[in-house]
Amino acid sequence: MGTVTSYFGQLCGQEKKKEEERLLRANDRPFNFSYHYANNAIKTSKYNIFTFLPLNLFEQFRRLANAYFLFLFCLQLIPQISSLSWFTTMVPLILVLAITAVKDASDDINRHNSDKQVNNRKVEVLLDGENEKWMTVQVGDIIKLENNQFVTADLLLLSSSEPLNLVYVETAELDGETNLKVKQALTETGEMGDNIQSLASFKGEVRCEPPNNRLDKFKGALTVNQNTFSLDNDKLLLRGCTLRNTEWCFGLVIFGGPDTKLMQNSGKTTFKRTSIDHLMNVLVLSIFGFLASMCSALAIGNAVWEVKDGSTFTVFLPREKGANAALTSFLTFWSYVIVLNTVVPISLYVSVEIIRLGNSFFINWDRKMYYPKNDTPAQARTTTLNEELGQIKYIFSDKTGTLTQNIMAFNKCSINGKAYGKYFCVDNWTWNPLDEVDFSWNQLADPKFIFHDFSLVETVREGNQEANAFFRLLALCHTVMPEEKKEGELFYQAQSPDEGALVTAARNFGFVFRSRTPETITVVEMGQHVTYELLAVLDFNNVRKRMSVIVRGPDGKITLYCKGADTILYERLESSCAKLMNITTRHLNEYAGDGLRTLVLAYKDLDERYMKEWKQRHHLASIAMDGREEQLDELYEEIEKDLVLLGATAVEDKLQDGVPQTIEQLAKADIKIWVLTGDKQETAENIGYSCNMLREEMKEIFVVAANTAEGTPVMSTSCLPQAYALDKSLQMELLRTACMCQTVICCRVTPLQKAQVVQLVKKYKQAITLAIGDGANDVSMIKAAHIGVGISGQEGMQAVLSSDFSFGQFRYLQRLLLVHGRWSYLRMCKFLQYFFYKNFTFTFVHFWYAFFCGFSAQTVYDEWFITLYNLVYTALPVLGLSIFDQDVNDRWSFQYPQLYAPGQLNQYFNKKAFVRCMMHSCYSSIILFFIPWAAMYDTVRDDGKDIADYQSFALLAQTCLIIVVSAQLCLDTHYWTAVNQFFVWGSLAAYFAVTFTMYSNGMFLIFTSIFPFIGTARNSLNQPNVWLTILLASLLCILPVVAFRFIVIQLRPTINDKVRENMRKNQRFYSIDWAFLNCCRSPAHNQGFFKFPPSGRSAERSFLLTCHPVRQEDTHSNEKYMHVHAHAETDGNTHTVCLYIHTHIA
């Protein structure tokens, strides 16, 4: 009933008001029922048995192409118009509909099953004390969850088994992050514990926001016995999470089923469409226009014929009553719409989908994009964008975690004006273990932590006040969760690797963060347990760029500890710190110059009274329903001032393997790379140098200061974000400047600004953009760009989840673009070009025939041929072409990144190419009609019998056509695998086999009226002049193309032609014997002989090879890839050889 009423509610539209606020009462079903909240049943399936057929068909016919074919089918049912048998459009249409329907059905069955499974999970509901199914759980119920159970609905946490009402949840299903998160119940409700009676009689009333999809926000208030408590995200368990390390907990259902944040988040995804899609739509529309004009021309022709010839031919074919030239020509128009419909073949869309899917699979399967360290293969998460990977003009890259590993190491620090720590070069192999500081005095130290300055340890152990405060701050001010499975074996679960590194540093220097509760933090300070009372946590966010905690020490002193970006904190320092500030700034600049990430630390002592009053206001603000965030921000702003500077930390983030090479390659491919980072200018600049984006020869590095998104020096724009940065008037200026630069690095950019920069370029440069990032802060940019790439790294899965492609390392980007992208684009373009060619050629022949059959919409071919042409005879070869074709292989694609440029310029397929393709078809169709026409004119068989009859002519024309389009395909294929051969020859064989079968006696005797072409194949294909005609027509279509292409290659070779020619010349050098490779591998013997051809054959020659290993990749796996440039000297000529060695190293 409920669904029916809600359905009618939806139908009636606005009658049901949008929920503005949710009010519910615990354990009071009748009260909650009155609001008609959704219960906890979910329905992700779309159809049921009865609605499947109508709904699915409706969905499918909403696609323009399908609707068009339905329209055609309806036209065919009109006998006056029908120029083709019903099956010519029906068979393909039914096939396409059936394939899609089967796929939809199996998807929906899966959804049904998972719905059923989820809805029938059991959970203990307190109201009746029984296990109920998930789907019967109502809003306002109190339910009990146990360890490792999925959270049933969005729950308000009431109490838990753990001290202080904590629960631990894993949110992998929700946001992909695998670290544990802590939720905590209100102390007031937590008191109930697992006391069933008090829980059952709990009469709390919750007032909260309506259902929405924000995972990280919740606003509400709980009223118990006239006391109101603030509710926020920390007290909410979201559906989709899993309970971990918690024996049990109780929760109050706030949102059920479709209202839960998980369900609200699923569904509506914005579809990205590629530029080829757009082009295809434009082309299809223009083809419709073209079709209409062709049909009009033929209809006019028919009118003329009717007046001139038709009206007198009535002796043998009487006109129908009332039919005049105007009417017949009108009917002829529609008849020709049917006959010529093959210019827009239904299989186009299906084939495009298949090709994209195939190319996506190749990305998923590529071992060279598999990152063994994390066991992550590359993944094409969106399968509809592949060809756009071959057209990228701009790459927007995040820095941290994308270019760098996001494995942070506490490297240096400045405490009270004194700098500690030595910088070591990135190359970890040159580290001298003797330099490392010995932390064995500290039992709890992390053995993996490495530091290179003894003096700091001494300073700390001497009891230096500032140093101790420095590390105390690091141990207190963070959101890290400790995990201590065994006594003394601490693990930190940090949401950001920076924090983890800082807390680990504090731990090794004797300030061990040991455990936390929502109200306390326990730190082992130089071996002594000290517990701090946690009074407030002032969260970090991208606008504040700082985080503070307010704690009360064991001595009762209240202190605010704050760490944050230098620009932010410097504004909030006490005036007496000015001198220290100068020294620290100098240190900071040094660190940034080394490419380190810096944070400034400061503290402030608070007095008891002020704190109490502030806490009061804080509480009020935190339960406010309106403007809660603004009020809190104001409070934070008020207390975080007059801070005392402690010092600064510098954390190193190492570059990922192969980043400089990748950037160099991409730059050679004429792809512009913009780095968008939240880091300081100096840090960003340094990273720019180390990853080859900035080079020494680039003298003019100019910094566009302030007000723009680009490099703003210490004066940050963090408080005045997008309004200034991407102000309308400055947008164009920024874009123009940036596009003149060789390298663009934008620093101090917020996530929103990242997206705005992407959008700016997308909008004004009309170029294809790609955004690559790894963290939640890159999500907006990933979604904004044409293609979003996520790197599954240290910062959770959010970027990956919203991306179109994902993989483990930045360096795989070059393979994704230069190899997969380029191939996908090439294949798609070849496909479209060939596909349009074959269908136009096929269709135009009808057009020419019209002039000889009185414009009567008589088809040239057998109707079965028309039905099967796209479906059987030519389907597989073109798929083979567009799935396997490579102009040059991956090695050469890397060797010549310039091969990427045609894609950026849209050169392989565009409107011009389409027109060329139409002209080509026009030529072919003229040949295909007039050669058989002339050859068969008034001729007879070698036994004097008829061969110029319609059926023989049809067979001749269609055989010519099949051979010509197959030969054209062969010309377009550059890469002949066995599969291609099989498809081409198989299709030709299938054509003859099917033709002979359909024209056989047996088929005629069984289906008399369906196969009227009986005997045609036997009677005409045994004639030599038929075969001579076929040969003539085929060669006349193919030879000019061959000659034209050959001459174009000679006169104006494209980069592809040059590389292919080069490849052909060098091919023989690949078969080099393995002994040589071994000598190549050791740097000492970089010269060796190799023999070609491999020994034992004649004309064996020896070459002297000198080789220079260029780079080694994938050192983490057992497989080694090595690029080697070698010079082979033969007869005084030097050939450059590129080897790509792929060996297993034991």
Partner 1 sequence: MVKEELSTENRPDNTAFTQQRLPAWQPILSAGIIIPGFVLIGLAFIGIGVALLVTSQSIQVMEIDYTGVDQGSPCFKCTDSTVSNCKCEIEFTIDKLFEGPVFFYYGLSNYFQNYRKYGASKDASQLSGDLDYFTSPATECDPYIKDNNDKPIVPCGSIANSMFNDSFVLSRLINGAKEVVPLDGKGISWWTDYNVKYRNPSITPLKNAFNGTVKPINWPRPAYELDTSDPANNGFINQDFLVWMRRAALPNFRKLYRRITEGNYADGLPAGDYSLEITYNYPVLSFDGRKKVVFSNVSWMGGKNEFLGIAYLVIGSLCVIMSIVMLIVYAKFKFPDED
Q: Which residues are annotated as a binding site for ATP?
A: 398-400, 499, 540, 563, 597, 677-679, 748, 754, 777-778
Residues forming a β-bridge with 420: 413
Alpha carbons within 13 A on the beta-carbon side of 604: 24
- Say which DSSP state 573 is in: B
Does 188 participate in binding partner 1 (rule CB under 8 A)? no
Task: Kindly give the pairing relationship between strand 379-380 and strand 744-746.
Answer: unpaired
Does 172 participate in binding partner 1 (rule CB under 8 A)? no
Tell whether omega for the bond before 1093 is within 30 degrees of 0, i.e. cis: yes
Does 1069 participate in binding partner 1 (rule CB under 8 A)? no
Does 313 participate in binding partner 1 (rule CB under 8 A)? yes
Choosing from 154, 259, 398, 1114, which is the catalytic residue?
A: 398
Nearer to partner 1, 753 or 924 (CB): 924
Residue whose entry in the numeric block shows the structure tokens 């009360």: 552
Q: Contact at 8 Å (CB) between 543 and 531?
A: no
Residues 575 to 634: which contact partner 1 by CB under 8 A?
none
Residues 318 to 357: which contact partner 1 by CB under 8 A?
318, 320, 335
Nearer to partner 1, 100 or 824 (CB): 824
Instruction: Annotate each residue in 247-276 with x if it binds partner 1 (CB under 8 A) or - if it does not, as one string.
Output: ------------------------------
| CA 302/CA 325 separation, integer angstroms | 8
Query: Applying CB under 8 A, which of residues 464, 515, 886, 1106 lies at the interface with partner 1?
Result: 886
Cβ atoms within 10 Å of 269's Cβ, excluding its own: 9
List binding-site positions.
398-400, 499, 540, 563, 597, 677-679, 748, 754, 774, 777-778
* 1072: nearest Cα among 1099, 1101, 1111: 1101
Nearer to partner 1, 44 or 889 (CB): 889
Q: Contact at 8 Å (CB) between 25 and 205?
A: yes
Nearer to partner 1, 191 or 942 (CB): 942
Q: Contact at 8 Å (CB) between 608 and 559?
A: no
Nearer to partner 1, 153 or 445 (CB): 445
How far from 926 is each of 894, 1048, 1115, 1142, CA to CA, in Å? 43, 24, 60, 51
The stretch near partner 1 (CB under 8 A) out of 11-19, 252-260, 943-951, 1085-1093 is: 943-951
Residue whose entry in the numeric block shows the structure tokens 């946590």: 537
| CA 1138/CA 1119 separation, integer angstroms | 19
* 810: nearest Cα among 682, 656, 622: 656
Query: Applying CB under 8 A, which of residues 334, 834, 953, 1076 lies at the interface with partner 1?
Result: 953
Residues 1116 to 1145: which contact partner 1 by CB under 8 A?
1116-1117, 1136
The stretch near partner 1 (CB under 8 A) out of 373-381, 499-507, 695-703, 790-798 is: 373-381
Does 317 participate in binding partner 1 (rule CB under 8 A)? yes
Does 940 participate in binding partner 1 (rule CB under 8 A)? yes
The stretch near partner 1 (CB under 8 A) out of 226-234, 273-281, 710-718, 1053-1061 is: 1053-1061
Residues 840 to 859: which contact partner 1 by CB under 8 A?
852-854, 856-858
Three-state DSSP state, 605: strand
| CA 701/CA 694 separation, integer angstroms | 9
CB of 822 to partner 1, least distance (A): 12
The stretch near partner 1 (CB under 8 A) out of 640-648, 676-684, 985-993, 1051-1059 is: 1051-1059
User: What residues contact residue 615 under an 8 Å CB cut-off, 6+ apart?
Assistant: 535, 536
Please say if 566 is a catalytic residue: no
Nearer to partner 1, 310 or 500 (CB): 310
Backbone phi, psi, residue 1123, to 5°: -95, 135
Does 951 participate in binding partner 1 (rule CB under 8 A)? yes
Query: Applying CB under 8 A, which of residues 783, 974, 1091, 1120 lies at the interface with partner 1?
Result: 974
Q: What is the CA radius of gyration of the chain?
A: 37
CB of 410 to partner 1, least distance (A): 18
Does 372 participate in binding partner 1 (rule CB under 8 A)? yes
Does 526 participate in binding partner 1 (rule CB under 8 A)? no
Residues forming a β-bridge with 10: none
Nearer to partner 1, 302 or 874 (CB): 302
Nearer to partner 1, 210 or 1015 (CB): 1015
CB of 439 to partner 1, least distance (A): 16
Binding residues for partner 1, how many (CB under 8 A)? 105
CB of 1006 to partner 1, least distance (A): 11
Q: Contact at 8 Å (CB) between 560 and 610?
A: no
Residues 1009 to 1038: which contact partner 1 by CB under 8 A?
1009, 1012, 1014-1015, 1018-1019, 1023-1025, 1028-1029, 1032, 1035-1036
Backbone phi, psi, residue 383, to 5°: -100, 10
Nearer to partner 1, 625 or 1006 (CB): 1006
Task: Kindly give the pairing relationship between strand 805-807 and strand 787-791.
Answer: parallel
* 957: nearest Cα among 926, 988, 914, 918: 926
| CA 409/CA 414 separation, integer angstroms | 15
Residues 647 to 686: which contact partner 1 by CB under 8 A?
none
Alpha carbons within 13 A on the beta-carbon side of 1118: 3
| CA 806/CA 598 separation, integer angstroms | 29
CB of 970 to partner 1, least distance (A): 9
CB of 1009 to partner 1, least distance (A): 5
Query: Applying CB under 8 A, which of residues 224, 234, 349, 377 lies at the interface with partner 1?
Result: 377
| CA 666/CA 904 separation, integer angstroms | 12
CB of 569 to partner 1, least distance (A): 36
How far from 624 is each of 157, 210, 415, CA to CA, in Å? 20, 16, 40
| CA 162/CA 782 separation, integer angstroms | 39
CB of 107 to partner 1, least distance (A): 24
Three-state DSSP state, 606: strand
Does 466 participate in binding partner 1 (rule CB under 8 A)? no
CB of 956 to partner 1, least distance (A): 9
Residues 804 to 833: which contact partner 1 by CB under 8 A?
823
| Residue 900 CA from chain centroid, whole number | 20
List binding-site positions for Mg(2+).
398, 400, 774, 778
| CA 93/CA 1054 separation, integer angstroms | 40
Residues 34 to 93: which contact partner 1 by CB under 8 A?
79, 83
Nearer to partner 1, 378 or 600 (CB): 378
The stretch near partner 1 (CB under 8 A) out of 147-155, 167-175, 926-934, 1107-1115 is: 926-934
Residues 272 to 311: which contact partner 1 by CB under 8 A?
309
Does 488 participate in binding partner 1 (rule CB under 8 A)? no
How far from 140 is each of 212, 255, 486, 880, CA to CA, in Å? 18, 9, 40, 58
Residue whose entry in the numeric block shows the structure tokens 């910062």: 795
Query: Applying CB under 8 A, which of residues 392, 801, 954, 984 lies at the interface with partner 1?
Result: 954
Q: Contact at 8 Å (CB) between 987 and 966?
A: yes
Is the C-alpha dihedral spanning 212, 217, 222, 227 positive or negative?
negative
User: What H or E segment, with its residue span, contains residue 195?
Assistant: none
Nearer to partner 1, 181 or 811 (CB): 811
Residues 700 to 739: which contact partner 1 by CB under 8 A?
none
How far from 661 is each of 363, 518, 532, 658, 934, CA to CA, in Å? 21, 47, 49, 5, 62
Which residues are the active-site residues? 398
